[in-house]
Amino acid sequence: MKKSESKGRMQGGLLFLGFFFFICVGVGAFVIYSGIKDIIHTKVSLDWPHTSGKIVSSSVEASQGSTGTGRSAWHADIEYEYTVNSQSFINYRVSFGDYGSSDKSHAQGMVSRYPVGITVAVYYQPDDPGESILEPAGTKTGIMLKLVVGSVFLFLGVFIALAPYLATMLKKRLASRNG
């Protein structure tokens, strides 16, 4: 193999690794940011005022193939209405950190807590009453899942960035042992 071909392959390989580095770091940073944002919203929402609302729709829904395995991700689709300062609102968010799951029972549990017709406490943002939730404590599992998945992607990106350096160091170490 010619030296120029070898150099071209190496540059192509580095370009390929660079692409995956940016993808992994970008996805990881975005997911971690989303988790941190949920933590902040959860903390702030504990002080939000609340009003009475009513569940108008409550069902378990599936998103086909959204788990990455071709299986369905199940989520609770809960719609509620409420009024603040004589203005009516409709919202769907139960808590910050909500997540879909391949385990249908998670969504079924939420739907059983919020059947159609019951009166619920709706916590709303004072500056924007259209932003509301039913559970201000948040879903810790969903938030932790975002932080863990984001960290895995971030560390994978860093590993990809370091892979050429680590491979070179390993080759040098092996060469020094054999030579």
- How would residue 6 be classed by pLDDT, with cut points 50, 70 and 90? low
Average pLDDT over every residue of 108-136? 94
- How would residue 86 be classed by pLDDT, with cut points 50, 70 and 90? very high
Range in 12-26, 37-51, 147-161 with the lowest mean pLDDT: 12-26
Candidate ranges 20-29, 57-66, 143-152; pick with highest mean pLDDT: 20-29
**Which residue intervals of the chain are DSSP H helices?**
3-45, 104-113, 140-178
Tokens of 75: 């989520």
Which are the contacts of 155, defined by CB distance < 8 A and separation ≥ 6?
28
Rounded to 5°, the CA angle 96-20-174 comes to 125
- CA separation, residue 10 to residues 7, 13, 16, 75, 166 (Å): 5, 5, 10, 45, 15
Considering the entire predicted model, what is its pTM?
0.65
